[in-house]
Amino acid sequence: MSLVVEADGGSRGNPGPAGYGAVVRDAATGQVLAETAEYIGTATNNVAEYRGLIAGLRAARALDPAATVRVRMDSKLVVEQMSGRWKIKHPGMRPLAAEARSVLPPEAVTYEWIPRERNKYADRLANEAMDAGRRGEKWRPSASTAELTAREDLPTVDSAALSVPPVPATPPATTESSAEARAAARAAVRQARVRQPEQPELPEAAGGGTDPTAVTAAPERAGGTAQGWGPDLGTPTTFVLLRHGETALTPLKRFSGSGGTDPELSPAGLGQAEAAAAALAARGTVQDVVASPLTRCRQTAEAVAARLGLKVETDEDLREADFGAWEGLTFAEARERYPRDLAAWLADPGAAPTGGESFAAVTRRVERARDRLLERYRGRTVLLVTHVTPIKILVRLALGAPPESLFRMELSPAALSAVAYYADGNASVRLFNDTAHLR
| Residue 279 · residue 372 · CB < 8 Å | no
Q: Which alpha helices (DSSP H) does 135-195 contain, by range?
A: 146-152, 159-162, 179-191
**Core vs surface per residue 288-301: b (16+ CB within 10 A) or e:** bbbbbebebbbbbb
| Residue 214 · residue 394 · CB < 8 Å | no
Nearest to 155, CA basis, from 267, 304, 352, 370: 304
Locate the DSSP E strands across 105-258: 109-113, 173-174, 237-243
Burial class (CB in 10 A: 0-12, 13-18, 19+), 344: middle
- Taking residue 389's Cβ as centre, other Cβ atoms within 10 Å add up to 28
Q: Which of 128, 244, 246, 274 is catalytic?
A: 244
What string of DSSP letters covers 261-289? --PPBPHHHHHHHHHHHHHHHHH----EE
Calpha distance 404→396 (Å, rounded): 10
Burial class (CB in 10 A: 0-12, 13-18, 19+), 392: buried
| Residue 260 · residue 327 · CB < 8 Å | yes
| Residue 37 · residue 128 · CB < 8 Å | yes
Please tell me whether 296 is known to bind a ligand.
yes
| Residue 221 · residue 423 · CB < 8 Å | no
| DSSP one-letter code for 41 | E
- Taking residue 68's Cβ as centre, other Cβ atoms within 10 Å add up to 22
**Core vs surface per residue 38-59: b (16+ CB within 10 A) or e:** bbbeebbbbbbbbbbbbbbbbb
Calpha distance 316→290 (Å, rounded): 10
Nearest to 439, CA basis, from 107, 159, 195: 159
Q: Which of 6, 38, 147, 320 is catalytic?
A: 320
Is 244 assigned a catalytic role?
yes
Residues with a known catalytic role: 244, 320
Extract the annotated binding site for substrate: 296
Extract the annotated binding site: 296
